[in-house]
Amino acid sequence: MPVTDPATAEPLCEVADAGPEEGAAALTAAAVAQRDWARTSARQRSDILMRAHRLLLAEVERLSLVMTLEMGKPLAEARGEVAYAAEFLRWFAEEAVRLDGGYLPAPTGGSRFLVARQPVGPSLLITPWNFPMAMGARKIGPALAAGCTCVVKPAEQTPLSMLALADVLRRAGVPAGVVNVVTASDPGAVVAPMIADGRARKLSFTGSTAVGKLLLEQCARTVLRTSMELGGNAPFLVFDDADLEAAVAGAMLAKMRNIGQACTAANRFMVQRGIAAEFAARLTERMAALPMGRGTEPGVVVGPLIDAAAVAKVTALVADARARGAVALTGGEPLAGPGNFYPATVLTGVPADARICHTEIFGPVAALSIFDTEDEAINRANDTPYGLVSYLYTENLRRGLRVSEALDSGMVGLNEGVVSDPAAPFGGVKESGLGREGGLVGIDEFLETKYIRVAL
């Protein structure tokens, strides 16, 4: 199947297009390798992951160029993603040797309980195109550290970054059969049989909520353990008492990282009335000045969106908001081709019923509205089926903590525009997902707890 450069809409190369047979072969390889891999020492697994960490950093220029070509993000961001991916491998290399267990007396006496943690088994890992390497490393790192083999299915738009990561892992010493990458143009046809097969023991998925729900239904049939990192609709609240310059800088990060194509992207900006006009003016000045172009060109911040459908979606959302009274302070119309370019856009006066407030924009559009009271801000922020991340800016510590606790999301950025960190538990509530990746709990997703009762 072809891999396309979103900046030119030209094909870059072709990769293998797997069908159900290749999927089954990959699962067989993972199932066969599982026992030996689980028996390796934690230190061996840790050393391999640490070598892969170093290789990724040593090869950052080549890997980031591959990522920019197939995905479009500016080179500086691609370098950042390679480093972020490498950091997941280092973090889980460190976690591999720190698994704990338990030894407890039975309350009734006479027996002892040993509590051990074992790898869950062969794992299916499905990743999206927006962070084509980091989302893989965030799953492969803990899976390998825990002693699980895996079949990885990258997004059809961005197979190259995952193939490159698999090549690095192989050179770092991952044995044959432990990491198997399946690239496919028809993901459903390959994945559904692997879920139904019964040999996979875990599905870890990052992608849209719609596909996540479909996979949860499929997993119910074989009671497959799942982790789900799904879509978001992040509110970004700016209170009157915020440090305005910090809030604008945070807004730029929360909105423009990955050209707005992040599950953590600020989707709904809500600004308290007293500073709303000033915030909009400063944000507009910064957004309007962002250089747009191919991600490989020096200085570019706004690269292309992933495909023509993404441009059409953003265009329709902005048109709907404007039809309902929103005003574009900058941007607001797609660029003519070639390539899938949409400019950095600021909309003010976006009414709550506009589709853009209820849909993951996945593009460089900041939708602004005004609030008056703290309660109103919290209620509107929580008025969504999603709950991945929320952002708020205030210099009042009490308000900051009060609102952080009241926000219905798995993560909160309090005076911070980026929350992602391999050392922190990443994940959402409500329809944004199940489970956490990274942090001290990330490896738990790939471990089963076994209790052994021992007669004394």
Position among 23, 132, 187, 387 found at the interface with ligand NAD (CB under 6 A): 187
Instruction: Measure the CA dihedral 64/176/193/385, to 10°.
Output: -40
Q: Does 360 bind ligand NAD (CB under 6 A)?
A: yes
Residue nearest to ligand NAD (CB): 207
In the residue annotation, 357 being an active-site residue is answered as no
Choose the binding region for ligand NAD from 41-49, 70-78, 130-138, 344-352 (rule: CB under 6 A). 130-138
Residue 260 DSSP label: G
Position among 46, 123, 180, 206 found at the interface with ligand NAD (CB under 6 A): 206
Which residues in the 364-403 window bind ligand NAD by CB under 6 A?
A: 388
Q: Which residue out of 77, 81, 87, 229 is catalytically annotated?
A: 229
The 10 Å Cβ neighbour count of residue 35 is 11
In the complex, minimum distance from the CB of residue 210 to ligand NAD, in angstroms, rounded to a whole number: 7
The alpha helices in 117-174, defined as continuous H runs, are 134-146, 159-172
Q: Does 310 bind ligand NAD (CB under 6 A)?
A: no
Side-chain half-sphere exposure of 201, counting CA atoms within 13 A: 16
Structure tokens at 135: 């989302």
Give me the residue label for tokens 């090869």. Answer: 59
Question: How does strand 2-5 pair with strand 10-14?
Answer: antiparallel
Position among 122, 128, 147, 235 found at the interface with ligand NAD (CB under 6 A): 128
Choose the binding region for ligand NAD from 69-77, 226-234, 317-325, 342-350 (rule: CB under 6 A). 226-234
Going by C-alpha positions, the residue among 313, 264, 255 that lies closest to residue 286 is 255
In the residue annotation, 263 being an active-site residue is answered as yes
Q: Does 188 bind ligand NAD (CB under 6 A)?
A: yes
> Site mask, ligand NAD, residues 23-52, x = CB under 6 A?
------------------------------
d(CA 2, CA 329): 38
Q: What is the DSSP string of 402-453?
A: HHHHHS-SSEEEES-S----TTS-B--SGGGEES-BSTTTGGGGGEEEEEEE
Residue 370 or 388 with smaller CB distance to ligand NAD: 388
Side-chain half-sphere exposure of 348, counting CA atoms within 13 A: 15
> Site mask, ligand NAD, residues 311-350, x = CB under 6 A?
----------------------------------------
Q: Which residues are catalytic?
A: 229, 263
Residues in the site for ligand NAD, rule: CB under 6 A? 126-131, 135, 153-156, 187-188, 191, 206-208, 211, 214-215, 229-232, 263, 360, 388, 428, 433
